[in-house]
Amino acid sequence: MIPSYYVQLNIYSMKSVRLLKLTFVALLSVLYGQLFSQIQHFEWQGTQREYILRLPMQHDGDMPIVYFLHGLGDNISRVDNQYNFTQVANNYGWAIVVPQALSQGIGTMWNAGLMQSSIDDSGFLMALLDSLSVQYPIDLDSVFFTGFSMGGFMSHRMAIEHGDRITACAPVSGLITHSMSALTPPCPVRMLHIHGTSDPVVGYDGNSQYFGGNLGLSVEAILNYWKSANGCVEEPVIDTFPNLKNDNLLFVRYTYEGDATLQHIKVIGGNHSWYNNSNQYDISYMEVIHDFFTYDDFDPTGIGNDVQTRPFQVHPNPCSGLCTIETEEVTQIEVVDMTGRIVCRQRLEPGENQLNLIGLPNGIYLVRDGKGRTTKVVLEAR
């Protein structure tokens, strides 16, 4: 429990409040394991709401705060144990809040606009932020939300309703519900949406094989929603994470720049899972979310703007079917369409090589080598 005198902090000067907050966090570092192995409570609209808070053992200045919202039917003790948020907080210097959704008939679920409900989860999460910012040195310019499945739905809702207070969001396997899509965010919000193309529970097209119906906007419609809200360009920068693990997955990232960056990681072949083991999969979701939350004006492709640093050059691009591809080394390439299907394999010799894509449908294709380095080719009719 938080000592009662913390509720009275408003009687002190701002300088005293700051000193008390820092002193209390130092004390928590000593008592860390004992205090934060327990679920804490926050009263909201007459209901005792539960949450777990993980603080870093060490940090410099104010801490970024990250909300993790669990999925349908889940509970915060299991989630905290599964994702090891104590270690995540220490690794990144984050304060991590793991709040508990209330039971609504079919299990614990967030009121993300999927069904009629009087539970004000959106207000609860913001009120909890206000309370925590009084008790701890929280950086209110670094407020982040992420969540899985139903937690992803709720992360979208938080960005739509409270984008003026939230710095960035990273929903995973969650959609924008139709009721939320009618709303306009108060301002642009940096957004990273991660979704598997073979997800049977929350489908890439917005439908659910598991629940047997439509749950919300398709991923394509979600990207269009945030492109409009964030004032983004239409054409993304596309890059593929190195495809080195035998996981039958391909992670493709689309980056749309604008007033606020929009990214989408399309997990080709991915199901309804949070891929977080970098030893088993080509990426770890927590790592790419951390990078997205904290990056500042870096080139998301890791390729750079200097064409000489690219593994190969393609011209003309766009092309009508025949193009020239240049490389400085012998390499084997694959041409992959946006569904992840390999449509062409070819060995490249140093210098110029002809690439024949005649007969393929118009669209964007990724050319990648065995090291996972990629460039894109746009095929269009002339």
CA atoms within 13 A on the CB side of 30: 4
- The pLDDT value recorded for residue 284 is 94
Beta strands in the chain (DSSP E): 40-44, 47-54, 63-69, 95-99, 138-148, 168-172, 190-196, 207-208, 213-214, 237-240, 250-256, 262-268, 313-315, 322-327, 331-336, 342-348, 351-356, 363-369, 374-379
Q: pLDDT over 70 for what percent of the chain?
A: 85
Residue 281 has pLDDT above 80, yes or no: yes
Distance CA 111, CA 98 (A): 16
Q: Give the pLDDT mean for 178-197.
A: 97
Kindly report the pTM of this predicted structure. 0.74
Tell me if residue 181 falls in helix, strand or coil: helix
Residue 308 has pLDDT above 70, yes or no: no
- The pLDDT value recorded for residue 296 is 52
Q: Give domain limits for the chain.
A: 4-294, 307-379
Residue 310 has pLDDT above 80, yes or no: no
Tell me if residue 198 falls in helix, strand or coil: coil
DSSP 8-state secondary structure symbol assigned to residue 33:
H
Specify the CATH number of the domain 307-379: 2.60.40.3080
- The pLDDT value recorded for residue 382 is 57
Chosen CATH of 4-294 out of 3.40.50.1820, 2.40.50.180, 3.40.50.720, 3.40.50.2000: 3.40.50.1820
Angle between helices 121-135 and 14-35 (to 10 degrees): 110
Q: Give the residues across from 171 on adjacent strands.
A: 147
Distance CA 180, CA 182 (A): 5
| C-alpha distances out from residue 9 to 21, 24, 147, 263, Å | 10, 12, 32, 40
Residue 18 has pLDDT above 60, yes or no: no
- Per-residue pLDDT tens for 341-354? 889 999 999 999 99
Question: Higher pLDDT residue, 381 or 27?
Answer: 381
- Among 33-37, 73-77, 131-135, 155-159, whose mean pLDDT is lowest? 33-37
Distance CA 350, CA 221 (A): 42
Angle between helices 76-83 and 85-92 (to 10 degrees): 50
- Among 12-26, 46-60, 275-289, whose mean pLDDT is lowest? 12-26
Whether 196 and 173 have beta carbons less than 8 Å apart is answered as: yes
Distance of CA 53 to the CA centre of its chain: 20
Q: Give the pLDDT mean for 313-339.
A: 86
- Per-residue pLDDT tens for 204-231? 999 999 999 999 999 999 999 999 999 9
Whether 88 and 286 have beta carbons less than 8 Å apart is answered as: yes
Distance CA 21, CA 31 (A): 15
20 — pLDDT class (breaks 50, 70, 90): very low
375 — pLDDT class (breaks 50, 70, 90): confident
Residue 374 has pLDDT above 50, yes or no: yes
